[in-house]
Structures are given as C-alpha cells and as structure tokens.
Amino acid sequence: NAGVTQTPKFQVLKTGQSMTLQCAQDMNHNSMYWYRQDPGMGLRLIYYSASEGTTDKGEVPNGYNVSRLNKREFSLRLESAAPSQTSVYFCASSFPTGGLNTEAFFGQGTRLTVV
Amino acid sequence: AQSVTQLGSHVSVSEGALVLLRCNYSSSVPPYLFWYVQYPNQGLQLLLKYTSAATLVKGINGFEAEFKKSETSFHLTKPSAHMSDAAEYFCAVSDSGGSQGNLIFGKGTKLSVKP
C-alpha cells in the first residue's frame, strides 16, 4: 500500500539551479496535484492535472512547470530556483468525480531549501 | 470563489479537555468540506469529510464535525483531548464540488495538548 510516493524527501539547491520533484501514485486516480506549504499560509495549489494529458495552473504557478508523464506520475520542475521557493512540497491524488470520491491522498512531502 | 477561514492559528488545551477547532467557509455552491490532520514532518491525513449525507460527521480518532449552513461553519470537536492529538489541523473546501476536486485550505490550527 504505497499510496502517493514523493522523491526526494529533502533537497538543498543553490539559487538558479534546476530540479524536478517526482510523484507517483498507485491508486489509479485520475487527478493529481502539487501544493506548497509555508508557515502560516496553509497549503496552496501550484498546478493540477485532472487527467492524463492535461495540466492547469493553480493559485501559485509562477516559477514552476509540470508534466503528467502517465496516469501514475506527475512531476514538478523548478527551472531556476529562487529562495522564495523554499518550502515543503506535497503531491496529492484523488478521483475527479467529486462527492465521496473527492478525498485527496497526500504524499509525505519534499522539504526544499534554496540558498 | 470559495474560501476557508480557520479561527485561531494556535489552540492549547489540557489533556482530557474538550477540543474545539473553528472553521468557516465561503461558497456559492453546496460545499464539500474536509478536515485534515498533519503530524510533525508528515503528510496530511483525512480526519473526516462532509458531502451532504449528514450534517454531523464522525471521523477517525474520536473527532467529529457539524455542518451548519446557517452559520457557514464546520467546526471540529473532540470531547476529550489526548496527548497524541497534538498536531496541525487543516480545514478545506472543494472548489467545484465535483469535477476537479481541488482543495482550498485554511491556514491551519496548531493544537497543543498539555499534560
């Protein structure tokens, strides 16, 4: 029962470096999401993918790109990291049909520090 | 647009005391409402969810929440706090009630439990 798996768990980047955060789910969910969590801000949606082959911007997309590689995998890329992107990043997945199936399942998070 | 407001960023109770965490929402359509819990250095775990089936919703670990449309509230309660309840709690609303399942989170309430 892996659920939602994120890699890496921790990462330190220098300003201007690039990296990709990986996320995979084994629950056959159609929808996947990337959130960032900052102290006192709750979780804010960066990008989401309602189904394989589609992606849409969330509340805070600037500085990020995403790829829905297949139904299982949804990656988040920082092309040129900035200190403002220091955060904890969470991937989540859910069924898209709403109601009882709207529950999102979260990964354990990636703690990213940009120096 | 939908939004969630959690009153009190930090709540402290004694072990055995009532836990009350407040959440008010704003939504132009019937909402789907959720409470998630986050233990230190972990991802989010669903506590309970309201999907219009019943106004009083029971969740895991003895928590429950009551949906009050007239007050646009979905407060989380537990009759008797336990040390293991110390965590951060997030209220969330689904922004579409269906097709996307995107969650809009409150800023969180950190619960401390004193012995």
* Torsion-angle region of B47 (φ positive above 0: left; ψ -120 to 50: alpha; else: beta): alpha
The token pair that represents A70 in the structure block: 């297949």
- pLDDT tens-digit readout, A69-96: 899 999 999 999 999 999 999 999 987 5
Alpha carbon of B77: minimum distance to chain A alpha carbons (Å): 20
- pLDDT tens-digit readout, A7-16: 999 999 999 9
Q: Mutate which of A9, A25, A43, A46 to disrupt the B interface (most B C-beta within 10 Å)?
A: A43
Q: Pick A45's closest partner by Cβ from B49, B102, B107.
A: B102
- Scored b (16 or more CB within 10 A) or e, A46-73 reads bbbbbeeeebeebebbeebebebeebbb
Region of poorest pLDDT, from A6-10, A53-57, B19-23, B92-96:
B92-96
User: CB of B90 within 8 A of CB of B36?
Assistant: yes
Alpha carbon distances (Å) from B17 to A49, B7, B39, B60, B82 = 42, 19, 20, 18, 9
What DSSP state is assigned to residue A111? E
Q: Pick B43's closest partner by Cβ from A33, A48, A107.
A: A107
Contact of B35 with chain A, judged by CB distance below 8 Å, is answered with no
Q: Mutate which of B9, B41, B100 to disrupt the A interface (most A C-beta within 10 Å)?
A: B100
Long-range contacts of A56-65 (CB under 8 A, 24+ apart): A58/A33, A58/A34, A58/B102, A60/A36, A64/A34
Residue B9's nearest CA partner among A44, A41, A45, A38 is A41
Percent of chain A clearing pLDDT 90 (strictly above):
72
Residue of B nearest to A33 (CA): B102
Residue of B nearest to A95 (CA): B101
For A24, residues 6+ apart whose C-beta sits below 8 A from its C-beta are A4, A5, A72, A73, A74
Residue A100's nearest CA partner among B34, B70, B95 is B34
Give the A:B interface size as CB pairs under 8 Å: 80
